[in-house]
Amino acid sequence: MINKSLIIGTVLGAVGVTAGSAIAGYNFIQKDQQAQNEQQALETQKALQPQFAEVLQVQPIKDVIKTPRQVCHDVTVTHQQPVKDQNKVTGSILGAVVGGVLGRQVGGGNGKKAATVAGAVAGGFAGNKIQQNMQTKDTYTTTETRCNTVTDTQEKVSGYNVQYKLGEQVSNIRLNYDPGTKIPVQNGQLVLNATM
């Protein structure tokens, strides 16, 4: 005869194993469902995240480059001939002689002497001025090269200050390229690539 307690124990054991398996299976299904729900929520969140940041303003940053260089050109220069008679003695003497001769032609007696002296003085002064005039006009010209330094100025863009809007947040960033009207976004972060 089969022991009643053995049968009860076996039945209870089978029920316990079945119930344990059912609970384990239920927990496994629950965890799998929860993982699927989390994955779906993550994908929904990614889908709701913006794909691009909107560029609000792009301002080029310019560096000024100054390059000095020499510019040379030929000019005509007028020179004074060297003066041989600094005191203009020759002109003064010749003028005095001519003035004296002309003064001697005027008047008679003591007036003739006075006219000769006056003519000599006036002639000497005039001869001096004539020689000075002639020496001033006695010039020669040469061509000389004159150089001076000029600075060429050039502007070069070294980067861009970019103001952008991602979601509701407005931020600034410096880039070495102009991003256009939008910047790609991946996982909530800007994708910064000059080839985009």
Number of Cβ within a 10 Å radius of residue 52: 14
Confidence at residue 172, expressed as pLDDT on a 0 to 100 scale? 93
Confidence at residue 25, expressed as pLDDT on a 0 to 100 scale? 57
* Strand extents, DSSP E, the chain: 52-80, 139-166, 169-175, 182-186, 189-190
> 144 near 74, Cβ under 8 Å?
yes
Give Rg (Cα) of the chain: 57
Confidence at residue 50, expressed as pLDDT on a 0 to 100 scale? 62
Q: Over the chain (196 residues), what is each successive 10-residue block's mean pLDDT?
A: 63 61 61 71 59 90 91 86 64 62 65 66 68 70 89 91 90 91 85 62
CB neighbours of 64 closer than 8 A, spacing ≥ 6?
153, 154, 155
Residue 6 exposure: Cα atoms within 13 Å on the Cβ side? 3
CB neighbours of 112 closer than 8 A, spacing ≥ 6?
104, 106
Confidence at residue 36, expressed as pLDDT on a 0 to 100 scale? 74
DSSP percent split of the chain into helix, strand, coil, nearest 5: 45, 35, 20
> 111 near 103, Cβ under 8 Å?
no
Number of Cβ within a 10 Å radius of residue 103: 22
Confidence at residue 47, expressed as pLDDT on a 0 to 100 scale? 54
As beta bridge partners, residue 63 has 156
C-alpha 190/C-alpha 178 separation (Å) is 14
Q: Which tokens sit at 97?
A: 């002689």
User: What separation in angstroms does the CA of 18 have from each of 9, 25, 115?
Assistant: 14, 10, 163
* Residue 101: strand, helix, or coil: helix
